[in-house]
Amino acid sequence: MTLGLNLFGFLPALIASVLFAQSVSSQPADRAMSLTSPEGAALLERLRQGGTVMFIRHADTAGQQCDAYTKEREGQRNISPAGRDQALALGKRIATLGISLAEPILAGPVFRARDTAELAFGAHRVKVTNSLLADDYANGRLAWVLSEHRRLFSEPVPQGENRVLVGHRGPVQMIFGDIVTGTRLPEAGVLVLQPLGTSGTEVLGVLEIVAAIDGGNPPCR
Q: How far is CA 103 from the centre of its chain?
A: 16
Neighbours of 52 (CB within 10 A): 22
Going from N- to C-terminal start, the domains of the chain cover 7-208
Average pLDDT in the chain: 89
Phi, psi of 61 (to 5 degrees): -125, 20
Could you give the residue ranges of the DSSP H alpha helices within 22-130? 38-49, 81-96, 111-121
Nearest in space to 152 (alpha carbons), one of 124, 139, 171: 171
- Cis-peptide, bond into residue 28, ω within 30° of zero: no
Among 27-41, 56-70, 169-183, the range scoring the smallest mean pLDDT is: 27-41
Span 7-208 CATH architecture: 3-Layer(aba) Sandwich (3.40)
| Amino acid, res. 163 | R
At 158, the amino acid letter reads P
Dist CA 3 CA 139 (whole Å): 8
Helix (H, G, I), strand (E, B) or coil at 186: coil
Lowest model confidence (mean pLDDT) among 30-39, 62-71, 97-106, 179-188: 30-39
Q: Minimal CA–CA distance to 80: which of 123, 111, 107? A: 111
Say yes or no to pLDDT of 93 above 70: yes
- Give per-residue pLDDT as tens, 112-153: 999 999 999 999 999 999 999 999 999 999 999 999 999 999
